[in-house]
Amino acid sequence: MVAAPKSNASKEDREKADAMLARMRAKAFRMVMDGTSWLSATELFAELPDKPLNADTMLAGWLEQGRIFALEKNGVPIYPRYAFDAMLEPVPIVREVLEVLRGRAPFQIAAWFESATTYLDGKRPREVLVEEGAAVVIAAQRMVEGPVHG
């Protein structure tokens, strides 16, 4: 059996690093949650005059098909408002972005949509999803590819 390498960092240094990481995670969580409206199925479809009777089933199907994504809050799926059009159908380009970001956790996807990027002239992907959909897909591809060194 091979022993794990010993860390040269002191207990105090590790505690400081852990505290900094916790602060960064909390800040990212606030950024994602405060950046847009996150709605339950009931809240989402409350905007429509004729609410579908099977909203939860419909949303579950869209999740399974990769047309939308969701986070969970107190065990209830919540959806970003920007992923839906005025008739509460999934914005088509979201599916393409989700295909590019496949394998990432829903929170990572939400954080990407909320983060300004130079690939979109400093805008957040969610801000230009409809108007610049192709550019949003390219920005997702570039993020997945990572930095290119020449």
**The pLDDT of residue 62 is above 80:** yes
14: in domain: no
pLDDT at 52: 80
The answer on pLDDT for 85 being more than 90 is: yes
Give pLDDT, residue 49: 80
DSSP secondary structure string for all residues of 22-78: HHHHHHHHHHHHHHS-EE-HHHHHTTSSS--TTHHHHHHHHHHTTS---EEETTEEE
pLDDT band at 6 (very low <50, low <70, confident <90, very high): low
How many angstroms separate the CA atoms of 8 and 29, rounded? 31
Residue 5 is predicted with a pLDDT of: 54
Q: How many domains does the chain have?
A: 1
Domain-embedded: residue 37: yes
Asked if residue 23 is part of any domain, the answer here is no
Q: In this structure, is residue 20 part of a structural domain?
A: no
Please enumerate in sequence order all residues whose Cβ is within 8 A of that of 16, keeping only pairs 6 or more positions apart, or say none.
Answer: none
Determine the structural domain holding residue 55 and report its residue range: 32-145
- 109 falls within a domain: yes
Q: Using one digit for the tens of pLDDT, what is the confidence trace for 95-150?
A: 999 999 999 999 999 999 999 999 999 999 999 999 999 999 999 999 999 876 66
Mean pLDDT along residues 20-25:
86
Model confidence over 30-60: pLDDT tens digits?
888 888 999 999 899 887 888 788 888 999 9
Query: Does residue 45 lie in a domain region?
Result: yes
